[in-house]
Amino acid sequence: MDTFTSLIIGFEKLDEHLKDDRKRNKNTGLRNAENIAIKNLDSNLEILNESILSHTKTSDLTTSKIKNRSIKPYDETNTLHSEVDAAMREYSEAKKRLEEAKMSVKGNNSRALRYALKAAQSAVKATQAMYQTKVRAYTDSLKQDDNKVNSFVDRRNEKAVRGVMSDMVSSVSRLKGRGLRGAGVAPLEGVVRRGRTYNLNEIQGLATPSAYVYRQHGSKYIRIPDLDNKSLVIVQPNRRKCGPKRQIGEGLQSMIRTLTFKQHIDQAAYDKLSIDDKKLFKEILAITHLQYCMTDSRTR
């Protein structure tokens, strides 16, 4: 803050010196150069003023001193502040005259005093409207000044962020090899890949996408997303399909899920299936589980 204040004081002295020289000089070229210098000084004072306003509190002596300065962005605000004070004084005087007129009418209810009371009431309304208008204009001007300071701070922060990002990008080493184009996933160590895919038997227990999509179902595998959608796709360990994709019901879906995740078959649940579902379930077991033998209850 001391540095900013000393800079402003130095700029003020230089501004006064240039203005005095401009009055003394009669040469047009020198006057133009001095006008340019004064304009640059005003812009520098504006930037310093906005910086101090953005880094100090309103209660600081330095900030209050700078706010009362007649620097270019705040000339209109100071003028409006003076107009608000004048309008407030006129409004207060009109209210006093209204109170005096009311007291006079109470003592002597003459025609002239009643006219004077009406005139005092009209004056209070007029001065009140003028005072409210000036206050509204003054608050709008303060908001505009705050927006200027905020935009200045935003521009400065944006430049700082861009500088930090450029430093980060320059410090990071360049990508080597293929980079981000077609890099894919690193090959699994200790697993032989035949073609473009791994054998499902070799990636069980590994954190690969296929290990989450495919689940072992006996000697074959099924796709869990298809099972969730009430459809069944059985594949070989090399991902070759065993038969077509089939739509299944909720009962058969529950039995296949239990067999896949718990390796258990519920005979009672099997008995509740329809004839078509029982037939399809037996076909599935014939493909995936040769060790199971389902028995149908005989009707007498």
pLDDT recorded at residue 164: 66
The topology (CATH level 3) of 72-155 is Methane Monooxygenase Hydroxylase; Chain G, domain 1 (1.20.58)
Where are the domains positioned within the chain?
A: 1-69, 72-155, 198-288
Q: What is the pLDDT of residue 299?
A: 41
CB 256 within 8 A of CB 241: no
Decide if 285 contacts 241 (C-beta within 8 A): no
Q: Write down the pLDDT at residue 138.
A: 79
Q: What is the structure's pLDDT at 139?
A: 81
Question: What is the per-residue pLDDT for 42?
Answer: 65
Please state the φ and ψ torsions of residue 220, each to the nearest 5 degrees: -120, -170
In this predicted structure, what is the pLDDT of residue 172? Answer: 53
Could you report the average pLDDT of every consecutive run of 10 residues in the chain (300 residues)?
Answer: 56 62 55 62 62 55 47 65 83 84 77 77 83 83 65 64 64 52 60 69 67 79 85 82 82 86 83 87 81 51
